[in-house]
Amino acid sequence: MTATTLPPVVGAEPAPPASARHSVDFTPRYWLFAAPAVVVIAAVIVFPWIFTLYMSGHDWKIGGGPEFVGLQNYAELFRDSRFLESMGHTLYFTVLAVVLPILFGTAAALVFHRDFPLRGLLRTIFVMPMMATPVAIALVWTMMFHPQLGVLNYLLSLVGIGPQEWVYAPGTVIPTLVMVEVWHWTPLVMLIVLGGLAGLPSEPYESARIDGASDWQMFRHITLPLVWPFIMVAVVIRTIDALKAFDTIFVITQGGPGTASETLNIFLYLQAFQFYKIGYASAVVVIFFAIVILLSLLLLYARQKSKWNA
């Protein structure tokens, strides 16, 4: 059978080619609609970063004018033992604040994925910490950490454990702050992983049960590989969030005792708003931004490599 060609309609314009139909019109009248967004982005994002880069090359303290020093601020930073110590604290805090919520959140998702009585109510209670603001959470936990009046030491005394120093000792302050972070953000990880579990196919599990696989074998060889992309999403979100953690740490410890919990964000805040070293603090911002971008790219690359095709 041969295809018949319909005659052209009299007076109709010829259809434009496919390339023309999918091309973007760059005439000036369309740029008028995008201009407000471009202006806002330039004012809110682009200009502050250009100004921060500019100030990082100057020695400027409040009350005086900026003096150009080139890369001197960056060189001083890497000779500053307090800055290097804050980088170590940030790494220590970030690793714990990512690994522990991922483990506990994944375990909670596996539990709440099963069907049992009052599952909806218990799941609602479990996600409630995520709804509170960090400052309010920090104030509540500060009262709970009090060595004499805090409820945590009272509860420990009921089971025969002596009082702990919590955030008042250099050796326990960061793990204690991580405990607050885990309590606050484990529900977020649980929701992300639970969403992945809800979309898993049932056929591999049915085949595994027929073959006599145990629950651990099904989790190890079926559930974990399939839900891994969702876990990586949680890792990316938690890493970025833990790196820029400030409010909880500042409210509870202000970087103390001494400098034992002084992360990069606390160090940056003190340099800018307590010591008024604006140029020095700007150099910290640039370095911190480079660290965040590098880690984000690495995690996004790992996230891309973990994709699977259903």
| Lookup: tokens for 17 | 């080619």
Is residue 47 domain-resident? Answer: no
Whether 73 shows a pLDDT value over 70: the answer reads yes
User: What are the E-state strand segments in the chain?
Assistant: 58-59, 67-68
Q: CB of 251 within 8 A of CB of 139?
A: yes
158/14: higher pLDDT: 158
Prediction pTM value: 0.84
Residue 58 sits at φ, ψ, to 5 deg, of -130, 155
Q: Domain count for the chain, please give it.
A: 1
Whether 84 shows a pLDDT value over 90: the answer reads yes
Contacts of 241 by beta carbon, 8 Å cutoff, 6+ apart: 185
State the Cα angle at 243 between 305 and 84, rounded to 5°: 115
Rounded average pLDDT over 115-125: 90
**Chain centroid to CA 204: how far?**
33
Is residue 217 domain-resident? Answer: yes
Whether 102 shows a pLDDT value over 90: the answer reads yes
Whether 250 shows a pLDDT value over 60: the answer reads yes
Q: What is the CATH number of the domain that holds 151?
A: 1.10.3720.10
* Parent domain of 128: 73-305
Which tens digits make up the pLDDT trace of 26-56?
556 677 777 888 888 878 888 888 888 898 8
State the Cα angle at 235 between 176 and 257, rounded to 5°: 20
Q: What letters, b where the CB count within 10 A reaches 16 and e where it falls short, cover 148-159?
A: eebebbeeeeee
Is residue 37 domain-resident? Answer: no
Is residue 140 domain-resident? Answer: yes
**What integer pLDDT is reported at residue 33 of this predicted model?**
77
**What integer pLDDT is reported at residue 249 of this predicted model?**
94
Strand, coil or helix: 5: coil
Rounded average pLDDT over 201-217: 87
**What integer pLDDT is reported at residue 1 of this predicted model?**
46
> How many Å apart are CA 26 and CA 251, to the nearest integer?
50
| Lookup: tokens for 304 | 């891309």
Q: What is the DSSP letter of 129?
A: G
Which tens digits make up the pLDDT trace of 180-192?
999 999 999 999 9
Is residue 64 domain-resident? Answer: no
Is residue 294 domain-resident? Answer: yes
| CA-closest candidate to residue 222, choices 198, 200, 241, 242 | 200
Q: Count CB atoms within 10 A of the CB of residue 95.
A: 13
Is residue 191 domain-resident? Answer: yes
Q: What letters, b where the CB count within 10 A reaches 16 and e where it falls short, cover 222-237?
A: bbeebbbebbbbbbbb
Rounded average pLDDT over 127-143: 92
- Average pLDDT of the chain is 86
191 φ/ψ sector (left φ>0, alpha ψ -120 to 50, else beta) = alpha
Is residue 282 domain-resident? Answer: yes
